[in-house]
């Protein structure tokens, strides 16, 4: 796996990026033999299309790389970076001409295309090296890529090797090089320390539930990240059909994503105080399973009627969010692979988010556009509050009717984050269903890069 840019001291092959509409003009500035070669081989400057111009000795004199049109660039993220990564073995350098934002996307795309999940099967690393463009900070992009790789690795690992205990080990491994303290509350100690809903969801599994906490930094604003760590979700007694269980190793995608974001924050040395909370459980079936119809009392005292044991993520998050609000926090962010309703609304590419803070929403939306990490603001629609209020308890974990499932889940979580001055909830998918530029099929981070980009503006 390529993890770093090539040294600027190395001889590099020039890569000239050409807009489709400017192809004829660009070719007119090349030596006649190179222009003739490009025309003969049918180079049309389509987005990501590469033309290798040969030397007389059979090497590569230059690469022409198509930029397509503004319309095609808007439709396909990271196409230039993915094309650079697929070039033959060698070291390459982008010629001047791209805008700084496009250079940054191409460079990051090259890094992300180098990702390989090799825990169970070796895969060849990329052979094309890239010298970082002058307009980017190489170390910062490498830090961002390292956070994304961590998220992908955690999600891609099957539940047999990524249960609550292994997720704890992953947090400790992340924390160690940064000197970040980690504390864990496990098993029945959750009840003793008033985390009843984390315990209830995880108590049926062979591997004990736990609440994992990592802290870092001693100055600056307090940022708290809460990530859903359901390492496998059978649905509990409301058992999922087999087809719906196939991707449930990714139900800890919220935890994986906040850990990737934490890796970016710590690696960049951001001036803030970071707290990460991960309720890590398996939603399993046994005689100890919590049941439909049960009423659970959350850490903050609210009672919750269980109308579907497959709506367990919001339960474990509720206890973690309650803990988060018991201490000072300037920004509280919750990330979870929470509802299928979110996928119906925006599909797999877009991370919907909920917040009452217009400043955060504006900063995040602008950052998402800059870094190619799409998000979309959804409403905390107040009239739907009655949908999460059953007759015999304060809250209903799975309102009947099937309408507005992502919104009602977000409203449920907001009940446990009321005292936070700024709160945002992300209902992510965490999975790339088909290969795309710089995003192979499998686990993927969503919204973390956008949040990382937005934090300096949000916290100033």
Per-residue confidence (pLDDT) for residue 2, from 0 to 100: 53
Q: Mean pLDDT across the stretch 187-215? A: 98
Helix (H, G, I), strand (E, B) or coil at 52: strand
Arithmetic mean of pLDDT, 53-62: 94
**Percentage of residues in the chain having pLDDT higher than 70:** 100
Regarding pTM above 0.95, the answer is yes
Cβ-in-10-Å burial (0-12, 13-18, 19+) of 12 comes to middle
- Per-residue pLDDT tens digits for 296-337: 999 999 999 999 999 999 999 999 999 999 999 999 999 999
Domain ranges of the chain: 13-126, 142-459
- The confidence band for 391, taking pLDDT boundaries of 50, 70 and 90, is confident
pLDDT tens for 326-341 read 999 999 999 999 999 9
CA 128 to chain centre: 26
Give pLDDT, residue 401: 86
pLDDT band at 170 (very low <50, low <70, confident <90, very high): very high
How confident is the model over 235-288, as pLDDT tens digits?
Answer: 999 999 999 999 999 999 999 999 999 999 999 999 999 999 999 999 999 999
Residue 129 has which token pair? 């090296």
Which tens digits make up the pLDDT trace of 89-121? 999 999 999 999 999 999 999 999 999 999 999
Q: What phi-psi label fits residue 333: left (phi over 0), alpha (psi between -120 and 50 degrees) or beta?
A: beta
Residue 300 backbone dihedrals phi, psi, to 5 degrees: -85, 5
The first and second tokens of residue 21, run together, are 């509409």
In the predicted structure, residue 192 carries a pLDDT above the cut 60: yes
pLDDT exceeds cutoff 80 at 3: no
Alpha carbons 144 and 115: distance in angstroms, whole number:
13
Domains 13-126 and 142-459 are alike in CATH topology:
no
296 Cβ contact partners less than 8 Å away, ≥ 6 residues apart: 196, 197, 200, 290, 303, 304, 306, 315
How far from each other are the two terminal CA atoms of the chain, in whole angstroms? 36
Contact between 205 and 282 (Cβ < 8 Å): yes
Residue range 142-459, CATH number = 3.40.630.10
Question: CA 294, CA 309: separation in Å to the nearest integer?
Answer: 10
Helix%, strand%, coil% for the chain, nearest 5? 40, 20, 40
Residue 284, Cβ neighbours under 10 Å: how many?
A: 19
Q: How far apart are CA 417 and CA 444, in angstroms?
A: 27
Q: How far apart are CA 140 and CA 177, in angstroms?
A: 17
Q: Enumerate residues 6+ apart whose C-beta is below 8 A from 144.
A: 108, 264, 449, 452
pLDDT score of 223: 98
> Which residues participate in catalysis according to the annotation?
240, 314
Q: What's the pLDDT at 10?
A: 76
φ and ψ at residue 103, rounded to 5 degrees: -60, -45
Q: Which numeric CATH code is attached to 13-126? A: 3.40.220.10
Is the pLDDT assigned to residue 1 strictly greater than 80? no
Question: What is the mean predicted confidence (pLDDT) over 182-191?
Answer: 98
pLDDT over 60 at 177, yes or no:
yes
Closest CA to 114 of 153, 86, 135: 86
């Amino acid at each position: 796996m390529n993890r770093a840019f090539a040294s600027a001291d190395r001889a590099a092959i020039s890569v000239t990026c050409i807009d489709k509409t400017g192809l004829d003009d660009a070719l007119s500035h090349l030596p006649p033999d190179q222009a003739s070669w490009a025309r003969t081989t049918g180079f049309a400057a389509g987005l990501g299309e590469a033309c290798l111009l040969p030397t007389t000795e059979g090497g590569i004199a230059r690469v022409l790389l198509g930029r397509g049109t503004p319309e095609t660039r808007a439709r396909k993220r990271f196409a230039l970076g993915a094309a650079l990564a697929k070039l033959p073995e060698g070291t390459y350098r982008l010629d001047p001409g791209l805008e700084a934002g496009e250079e940054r996307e191409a460079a990051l795309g090259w890094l992300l295309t180098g990702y390989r999940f090799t825990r169970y099967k070796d895969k060849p690393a990329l052979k094309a090296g890239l010298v970082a463009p002058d307009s980017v900070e190489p170390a910062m992009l490498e830090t961002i890529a390292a956070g994304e790789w961590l998220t992908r690795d955690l999600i891609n690992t099957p539940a047999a090797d990524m249960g609550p205990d292994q997720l704890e080990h992953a947090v400790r491994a992340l924390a160690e090089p940064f000197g970040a303290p980690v504390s864990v509350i496990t098993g029945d100690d959750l009840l003793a320390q008033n985390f009843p809903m984390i315990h209830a969801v995880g108590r049926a599994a062979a591997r004990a539930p736990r609440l994992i906490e990592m802290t870092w930094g001693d100055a600056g604003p307090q940022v708290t990240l809460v990530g859903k760590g359901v390492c496998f979700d059978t649905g509990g007694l409301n058992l999922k059909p087999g087809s719906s269980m196939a991707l449930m190793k990714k139900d800890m995608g919220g935890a994986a994503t906040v850990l990737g974001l934490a890796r970016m924050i710590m690696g960049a040395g951001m001036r803030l105080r970071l707290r990460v909370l991960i309720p890590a459980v398996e939603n399993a079936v046994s005689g100890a399973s919590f049941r439909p119809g049960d009423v659970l009392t959350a850490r903050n005292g609210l009672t919750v009627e269980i109308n579907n044991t497959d709506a367990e993520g919001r339960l474990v998050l509720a206890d973690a969010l309650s803990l988060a609000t018991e201490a000072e926090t300037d920004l509280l962010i919750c990330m979870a692979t929470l509802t299928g309703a979110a996928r119906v609304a925006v599909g797999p590419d877009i991370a919907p988010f909920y917040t009452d803070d217009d400043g955060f929403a504006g900063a995040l939306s602008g950052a998402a556009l800059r870094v190619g990490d799409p998000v979309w603001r959804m409403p905390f629609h107040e009239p739907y509050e009655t949908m999460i209020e059953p007759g015999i308890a304060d809250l209903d974990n799975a309102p009947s009717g099937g309408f507005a499932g992502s919104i009602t889940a977000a409203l449920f979580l907001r009940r446990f984050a009321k005292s936070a001055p700024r709160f945002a909830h992300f209902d992510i998918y965490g999975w790339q269903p088909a290969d795309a530029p710089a995003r192979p099929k499998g686990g993927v981070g969503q919204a973390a890069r956008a949040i990382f980009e937005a934090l300096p503006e949000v916290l100033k």
